Structure 1
């Protein structure tokens, strides 16, 4: 999967994303500071119907949001921002492992600190800022395949 889009098109991209990734649960987001990772997660949450105010979990580490599934049942969606974590033990202490294996959708920004904890079926999303306010979003099934994008 690859999308190239303008930021004002991000809501449409979020809808297309869920069409292509309907059953996935854990997404590791890679990209430089300012690439738009949090903005993308906000759009993906909105496309799922999250009503909560979404924001960066930079200081809380983990934010939980609720959306209704196709049967009207409440489901959790987690947004993790591991930028401030210095090591694996801090991630464990913050409850990252429990969150990743909760069965809920998880978006993990700055996943390198917990690379060995990520489920094998994790989808790695690579977001890159391009000229003219465009962004490129690529997906891969492992963190090696697109790291040198």
Structure 2
């Protein structure tokens, strides 16, 4: 498990660049943390470090947003907060996205735990102050 300290929002780009190195061999990246912990904010910084030019925003109502990285490869950003049952994720084709081999960034993965592949990265954000956060990165197998 790797731990990164984010003393302020200004540290986001540097930490995102470090986390990007860990993503190289993983396509499923799950983000946990309480409401307001900064999951979407960190995903924005991560996408910027991958050359995404699109506006990155939470897909709370759409459930999934698609962006393109600097190599024009798709990145799928999910927010499953509003789901009541994992079958709702199946209905939008989540399993096909997960099997695509393209990067899938998943907020609130615990809502669809049964659908997730065993091997994935888990990034947990902990609020430590008004702007400060601790980010833990763990490889799940």
- Counterpart residue number, 2:83: 85
Q: For 1:8, which of 10, 19, 31 is the aligned residue?
A: 10
Q: CA deviation at 1:132?
A: 5.0
Cα distance in 1, alignment partners of residues 16 and 125 from structure 2:
13
CA distance in 1, matches of 2:140, 2:19: 18
What 5-or-longer segments of structure 1 have no aligned partner?
A: 144-149
Q: How big is each residue's C-alpha offset from its partner over 1:79-100, in whole Å with a ceiling of 9 and x where there is no partner?
A: 0000111101111112111111
The one of 108, 125, 128 equivalent to 1:127 is 125
After superposition, the C-alpha distances for 1:64-119 in whole angstroms (9 at most, x for unaligned) are 001133xxxx2110100001111011111121111111110011001112112112
Q: Which of these residues, 114, 129, 140, is aligned with residue 112 of structure 2?
A: 114
Structure 2 gaps, min length 5: none
TM-score by length of 2: 0.92
Alpha-carbon distance between aligned partners in 2 of 1:125 and 1:64, rounded to the nearest angstrom: 20
Aligned Cα root-mean-square deviation (Å): 1.4
SS at match of 1:54: coil
Q: How many residues align?
A: 139
CA contact (8 A) 2:16 2:45 kept: yes
Distance in 2, matches of 1:131 and 1:67, equals 31
SS at match of 1:141: strand
Quick one: distance in 1 between partners of 2:93 and 2:48?
A: 25
Match of 2:29 in 1: 27
Please give the TM-score of this superposition, normalised by the length of structure 1: 0.88
1:66 aligns with 2:64: no
